[in-house]
Amino acid sequence: MDTSAIGNSVRNENDEYADEDDVFVDDSDDEELEPITLGFLEKPKNRWTLSRQFFPSKAGGLPAWLDPLNIPSGKSSVCDFCGDPLHFVLQVYAPVVEKDSTFHRMLFVFMCPSMTCLLRDQHEQWKRNPEKPSRSVKVFRCQLPRINPFYLSECPKYDGNDIPTGSGAALCDWCGTWKGDKLCSSCKQVRYCSEKHQSMSWRAEHKIACQQIKISSPALGPNKNGTTSLESVGNKNIWPEFEIIEDQSECNVDTTEDNTLSNSLISRNRSDDTMNSLMDSFQGDDDKKSWAHFQERIANAPEQVLRYYRNSNAKPIWPILSGRPSKDDIPKCSYCGGSMCCEFQILPQLLYYFGVENETNSLDWASIVVYACEASCEASLPYKNEFPWVQLYSPSAAAH
């Protein structure tokens, strides 16, 4: 794979090997080192560059669906516990150059914003080979050959003339994320993905707007081209939008703590208070040692939110000892039956950028590690389910 595809930029960091038969990190002092790719967030200078025809790696906002027509729907789009539509977290453009069918390849991460559901998710993810897995965090992989119905075969020129060659599915006017299969029964012009979003839209604005729409434009039909913008959606609680890129400023290994934290968007006081609080909550020396190692590893680039591992012998760095998976906890690909490999890791720093408050019932995690089919198999579905492993800070929450 050409790792430069991730946000069109990379940063290398030394990472450790783990034993081939183990998913755990080897914390020994004589560990071997392996460069990996790190992802950082930045507000886009031009939002149009995050449109799907530019194959962006991005976090927050609305997903830029790779296959804009055959997007996941039904139970795939909702939390398996509360039934609410999932929120878009991030997407990573990660083509595999060895195969024609993966010329374009994107992984999408969605989750329910409810911490209650994430706690229930913890118990489900420990079940090995469940008949019908229930999750509040879902990952989809989509891939296309170079010649496909949706994009030109040439690289984008970024000159304002790049346009996709095919239209997409009509999307929900409230969330702008999922298929808008339901029409407002009154004005018949506004689309929704679910009764939940229709109800929220009605209470927020559509109750008044509906009558105005019927009077001003009764002959117009609903939007069918799937071009929903962040500004046009009704839901204003969507997580803020960022581009995933390389941070151009290099930090040396011997960078002092003062310089590291002064260059960070995460303030010293907030960071120190959070880190000390977490350290105090750990009950054993092993968890404290693991947390200290995790902090040491990310201190050289404290704003990183993503660590990309595919085609690397490096393994995830787990913030705490409890709640790590063994090799047997990672399932086989549900489509081809082959092995799954560690694709990337989402760090908890992302919650800061999303503006999630550090309160009792707020959404929180120690790490989300995405495992994907090692062969990046074809299967027949446009969007294939991959496996996320969520590690929480609380040992009790991870108990199984």
Q: Is the pLDDT of residue 395 over 70?
A: no
For residue 270, the model assigns a pLDDT of 44
Angle of helix 268-281 versus helix 285-298 axis, rounded to 10: 160
Out of 38-42, 45-49, 282-286, pick the least confident. 282-286
For residue 329, the model assigns a pLDDT of 95
Direct distance between the N- and C-terminal alpha carbons of the chain, in angstroms, rounded to an integer: 36
Q: Which region holds residue 376: left if phi is over 0, alpha if psi is between -120 and 50, else beta?
A: left
Q: Is the pLDDT of residue 162 over 50?
A: yes
For residue 82, the model assigns a pLDDT of 96
- Do β-strands 33-42 and 242-245 pair in parallel, antiparallel, or remain unpaired? antiparallel
DSSP 47: G
β-pair partners for 108 = 91, 140
pLDDT bin (cut points 50, 70, 90) of residue 218 is low
Strongest mean pLDDT among 31-40, 190-199, 276-285:
190-199
For residue 6, the model assigns a pLDDT of 63
For residue 222, the model assigns a pLDDT of 53
The 3 state secondary structure assigned to 241-285 is CEEEECCCCCCCCCCCHHHHHHCCCCCHHHHHHHHHHHHHHCCCH
Out of 184-193, 283-292, 294-303, 312-321, pick the least confident. 283-292
Length of the chain as a residue count: 400
For residue 396, the model assigns a pLDDT of 47
Q: What is the pTM of this model?
A: 0.83
| Cα 186 off chain centre by | 36
pLDDT cut 70: percent of the chain above it: 77
pLDDT, the chain, mean: 81
* Cα–Cα distance measured from residue 291 to residue 318, given in angstroms and rounded to the nearest whole number: 8
For residue 165, the model assigns a pLDDT of 81
pLDDT bin (cut points 50, 70, 90) of residue 223 is low
For residue 379, the model assigns a pLDDT of 87
Q: Is the pLDDT of residue 324 over 80?
A: yes
343-360 per-position pLDDT tens digit: 999 999 999 999 998 877
pLDDT bin (cut points 50, 70, 90) of residue 42 is very high
